[in-house]
């Protein structure tokens, strides 16, 4: 078991500094352009692939860091660079994790490398779960997968929404209903290979923030995928569905739901780390500005009204990072989230990002409201953290239910 420490080791510091350099030298100079274009920053992704930042090997190394700090450290530095570009760099990881969590060794070896491509031909992947009427309420999912036994194929029909890289991905991972009677326990995940007929991009969303990240609907019309594209395989699925039917309405069923929630809990600190990166970036801009901007013959940081805001901003950022690190360490060492520590970290960090970026805009005054300074973009980007991977309201619900043991609604 890795010993908890507040100090990064030498290898982690080297990776952090390497990522910071890439974020400062490549991502930041390109951030405003790709935000305005609202397009996937393929040249930046390719640069990241050339040096190994955008690669399966790199993310696997960070994921298996025994301290648990590899992923949050990576997320913080990349999102310090720019949230929109960073999400284009890490969005493929959502699909990769979906395969790693549910796929067989053969499926993992076949599909995950294809999601990234290589430095000469970069690819992206998409994880498709949310639907127009099924966001937080995953039990309302309508996309269906029906097995055609004669052809050993699954037929998928439905519409997914809010899919990062949706429609432009080389590989799509789609969550669909295979047994509607079982609610959320009747779901399964499928690989949709490249150029599969029937899959198309629907509406591309024009967003308030993270505009360099492609977000779109994915439409599935009689999409046929081979049986081997069911993640985990049909035998495993049939066994799981049989157990779920037996446990329906029993205490065992409740334990299944709690186990699923624990999986989601473990992923939320990564989103918290993204929020910390954006908050830290905005704070640093505001601090530098307050030191150099003079009014009434002195730097504005000499005024308590400004200095105290900066003190609060830095305190909240450091507190958010500690919550993220605690939850990440707990997850990697197998410690149970008895107080929903994963949701705590995501809730506090995401709301910190919104608050700190708003304060940064205020400290810069009129300049902060223009696109000449990056805090305007950072403030827009920060809004997403309280929404995706479970809204702040959902996080509070998870925390309250965990603490009380009551079915709070």
Residue pair 83/354 in contact (Cβ under 8 Å)? The answer is no
**What is the radius of gyration, based on Cα positions, of the chain?**
22
DSSP class of residue 338?
A: T
Quote the longest CA-to-CA distance of the chain: 82
DSSP class of residue 3?
A: P
Residue pair 136/170 in contact (Cβ under 8 Å)? The answer is no
**Is 33 among the catalytic positions?**
no
Q: How many CA atoms lie within 13 A of 44 on its CB side?
A: 29
Residue pair 382/209 in contact (Cβ under 8 Å)? The answer is yes
Residue pair 364/286 in contact (Cβ under 8 Å)? The answer is yes
Residue pair 202/218 in contact (Cβ under 8 Å)? The answer is yes
Name the active-site residue from 76, 217, 389, 393. Answer: 389
- Which residues touch 105 (CB under 8 Å, ≥6 apart)? none
Between CA 381 and CA 58, with CA 379 as vertex, the angle to 5 degrees is 40
In angstroms, the CA 29 to CA 23 distance is 9
Residues marked active site are found at 389
């Amino acid at each position: 078991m890795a010993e908890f420490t507040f100090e990064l080791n030498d290898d982690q510091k080297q990776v952090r500094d390497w990522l910071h350099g890439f974020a400062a030298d490549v991502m930041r100079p390109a951030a405003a352009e790709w935000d305005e274009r609202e397009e996937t920053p393929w040249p930046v992704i390719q640069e990241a692939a050339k040096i190994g930042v955008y690669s399966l090997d790199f993310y696997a190394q960070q994921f298996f860091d025994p301290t648990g700090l590899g992923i949050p450290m990576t997320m913080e530095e990349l999102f310090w660079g720019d949230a929109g570009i960073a999400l284009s760099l890490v969005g493929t990881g959502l699909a990769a994790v979906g395969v790693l969590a549910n796929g067989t060794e053969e499926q993992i070896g076949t599909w995950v490398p294809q999601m990234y491509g290589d430095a000469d031909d970069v690819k992206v992947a998409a994880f498709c779960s949310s639907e127009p009427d099924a966001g937080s309420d995953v039990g309302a999912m309508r996309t269906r997968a029906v097995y055609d036994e004669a052809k050993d194929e699954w037929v998928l029909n439905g519409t997914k929404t809010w899919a990062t890289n949706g429609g432009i991905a080389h590989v799509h991972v789609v969550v669909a209903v295979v047994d509607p009677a079982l609610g959320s326990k009747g779901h399964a995940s499928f690989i949709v290979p490249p150029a599969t007929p029937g899959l198309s991009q629907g509406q591309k969303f024009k967003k308030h923030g993270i505009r360099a990240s492609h977000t779109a609907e994915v439409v599935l019309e009689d999409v046929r995928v081979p049986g081997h594209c069911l993640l985990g395989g049909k035998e495993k699925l049939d066994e799981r569905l049989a157990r779920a039917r037996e446990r329906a309405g029993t205490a065992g069923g409740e334990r299944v739901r709690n186990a699923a929630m624990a999986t989601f809990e473990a992923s939320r600190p990564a989103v918290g780390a993204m929020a910390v990166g954006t908050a830290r970036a905005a704070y640093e801009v505001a601090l530098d500005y307050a030191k150099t901007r003079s009014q009434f013959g002195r730097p504005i940081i000499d005024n308590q009204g400004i200095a105290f805001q900066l003190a609060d901003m830095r305190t909240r950022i450091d507190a958010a990072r500690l919550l993220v690190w605690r939850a990440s360490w707990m997850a990697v060492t197998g410690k149970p989230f008895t107080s929903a520590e994963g949701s705590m970290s995501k809730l506090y960090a995401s709301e910190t990002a919104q608050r700190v970026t708003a304060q940064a805009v205020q400290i810069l005054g009129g300049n902060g409201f223009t696109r000449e300074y990056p805090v305007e973009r950072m403030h827009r980007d920060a809004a997403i953290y309280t929404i995706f991977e479970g809204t702040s309201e959902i996080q509070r619900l998870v925390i309250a239910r965990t603490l009380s043991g009551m079915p709070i609604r």
